[in-house]
Structure 1
């Protein structure tokens, strides 16, 4: 029996979606549906919210045979998505997780990761003068999103990625995973981790209010969340005159390659999806 929601168009329509738990807050359906309408494609992008790992397994099994093009994957299923795939991209292997799953006509599952790409593009768009290969980058948090970001930064040529986490053992897991170029810090060492960094990235929820006194004027600060768009981190950075990068651009830029993987065409570059998303969220640029 198919796990596709009752009433979801099939047949000629190209069907893809996003899976996570919780999933009601996801902006991905809005983004992909807007692109589908702009291009006039016969496509659907739907949210899926399996309750647990068993439910995720059942969803993937169903998708192998029901003609769905693919899925974006968010917490808490990214590592499970990687484990279930038949083939895995080098990017996903380095990230240790997958946020993009695609199915071929025989039902074989390929896993990829576009999270790191989204972050790098967000910096290029909002802080183009911040050279991520010129100095260390500090990341607050050692959760699932952090490893994909570390992989992208090292590929970009970053000389050192500093992971700061409440439990230093979690940060040290990333040191072990990458072997070279990653160092671990706990919350008592934030000042030392920030010192000399070209960028600070918040990939954690909560935590201490940031202090950016020791950053140079060409440094940039990013918060990976987009609700709200201007977090306490970004407000504090702006007060110091620093460039800021928000999570909305990261979300949009990781979604672009997913859209092409699902529907075979890239979103139009001149279509202002960010403005539409800001209006939808009730935010200002």
Structure 2
């Protein structure tokens, strides 16, 4: 049975009639089925100019979202009625009415012989229950009207409460059930499985890392990416990266760039999973909904290994994984941080940047473990610095590393393997600066740090600093090969470094 493809409605962020018309003209070739005009974002004095949008190359949905439901419009019922009635008199294909505020309008417009198809929307609060969704979807509505319910929820709650309300194989095609927050992009990706009437998308990203700047709702995916994935049907492949937090991740941008250049019909999401228990609960259902592979970052690398059915040699040696790949019902764990670090260490040695066989590793987590495995392949001697004496001792015993206290001996190479440097991570409280001096090369796992304390201190000491961008791209190339059975070219790796990470 071929899944019902939902309408892909692009929410236009423009705030003037002129900009809106220009944007609509660009969207049809990108795969939009319709466009949503958010009149609550327009200046009040421009609302009478809505008629200037006609004729339109795409069907249009008129929305005036109230402030009470997350929009910029007025909540006054008389004001809303005046604006929405005027919009209903124009040849819009769809009109959004809010179930909680527009009951009188719903009754009067539902009785019309002609007019736009009504989308009856309700934006729930985080504490609303799944029973509330069922109540809204099953409630009486005018003939032909579409019920739309939006609920903020995480990935775990989606699978626990919302997913059971959706039926594989298709629903009535007269319902829209969407979520915002951590599960929002996932619901849009799997919508064809459940016969939803429509999903809402963002305009195409104008350059990498631009999506967040143009999406009215952060959970919206770019229309061109969503359309390619939908149209590919069973050939489309779904991937993700998870961690907590995950907003900083550039993995979606890198994989999307490579999929587009290699003409691969895939979609790559960022999923913020808040606990290892939640990851354990959702991994199998994610696979059932089509997820074929997932990159894993801090702090779930250890959990990823424990949840896998099988693991590769590097993951087993490191005791953690940064990739999960699904074949059938079986998840395999891999650790491509190891191969990425090994590749970079060899390059640094060959270039003369790393001048001896010693290195200092700051940290005791998954990135540190990957570094220790890579260093052992090169028979390097490693010193470990960490906050917890117990963690350092266990790591040193496991990998044959050295434990050092405060020292003024300058190191040739220092690898920073903690997430410190991100805005949402506490400052590094491990003494390391005494090991840095002229000639020291500092390799940071953190890419594009929000707080570049490591770079500043390294340069102050006369050393050389490299952020984690190259390591990210190297492990992404390994992941891409595991997902698609083909490796991106060196030229595509370089493009990722230049365009995504803005580095040479």
The alignment's TM-score, normalised by the length of structure 2, stands at 0.49
Deviations 1:3-60 (A, max 9, x none): 8822214632111111111111111111111111111211111111222223211221
Pick the aligned partner of 1:103 from 322, 326, 329.
Answer: 326
Which runs of no fewer than 5 residues in structure 2 stay unpaired?
A: 1-158, 164-182, 190-228, 421-427
Q: Residue 91 of structure 1 contacts residue 113 of structure 1 at CA under 8 Å; is this kept in 2?
A: yes
Alignment of 1:110-125 (within 5 A): 110-125=332-347
- What secondary structure is seen at the aligned counterpart in 1 of 2:406? helix
Q: Residue 448 of structure 2 contacts residue 501 of structure 2 at CA under 8 Å; is this kept in 1?
A: no
Q: Residue 212 of structure 1 contacts residue 240 of structure 1 at CA under 8 Å; is this kept in 2?
A: no
Partner of 1:40: 263
Q: Would you say 1:184 and 2:406 are equivalent positions?
A: no
Q: Residue 16 of structure 1 contacts residue 44 of structure 1 at CA under 8 Å; is this kept in 2?
A: yes
CA distance in 2, matches of 1:83, 1:231: 33
Pick the aligned partner of 1:7 from 188, 191, 204.
Answer: 188
- What secondary structure is seen at the aligned counterpart in 1 of 2:407? helix
Deviations 1:158-214 (A, max 9, x none): 1x2110112211101102222x3x0123xxx2325xx3633111223213472456x
Q: Would you say 1:227 and 2:445 are equivalent positions?
A: no
Q: Would you say 1:197 and 2:411 are equivalent positions?
A: yes
Partner of 2:303: 80
Q: Residue 225 of structure 1 contacts residue 247 of structure 1 at CA under 8 Å; is this kept in 2?
A: yes
CA distance in 1, matches of 2:303, 2:435: 36
Partner of 1:19: 242
Higher relative contact order (CA 8 A, sep 6+): 1
Q: Residue 229 of structure 1 contacts residue 246 of structure 1 at CA under 8 Å; is this kept in 2?
A: no
Partner of 1:145: 367
Q: Residue 321 of structure 2 contacts residue 333 of structure 2 at CA under 8 Å; is this kept in 1?
A: yes
Partner of 1:54: 277
Q: 1:80 to 1:265 in 2, by over 3 A?
A: same
Partner of 1:163: 384
- What secondary structure is seen at the aligned counterpart in 1 of 2:244? coil
Deviations 1:241-273 (A, max 9, x none): 434332111111111100111122111211221
Partner of 2:353: 130
Cα deviation for residue 126 of structure 1 reads 6.1
Structure showing greater radius of gyration is: 2
The alignment's TM-score, normalised by the length of structure 1, stands at 0.84
CA distance in 1, matches of 2:316, 2:371: 13
**Number of residues paired by the alignment?**
269
CA distance in 2, matches of 1:249, 1:80: 25
Cα deviation for residue 152 of structure 1 reads 1.0
Partner of 2:465: 244
Q: Residue 88 of structure 1 contacts residue 111 of structure 1 at CA under 8 Å; is this kept in 2?
A: yes
Q: 1:126 to 1:244 in 2, by over 3 A?
A: farther
Q: 1:15 to 1:229 in 2, by over 3 A?
A: same
Q: More deviation in 264-273 or 92-101?
A: 264-273
CA distance in 2, matches of 1:212, 1:120: 22
Cα deviation for residue 216 of structure 1 reads 6.8
Q: More deviation in 37-46 or 50-59?
A: 50-59
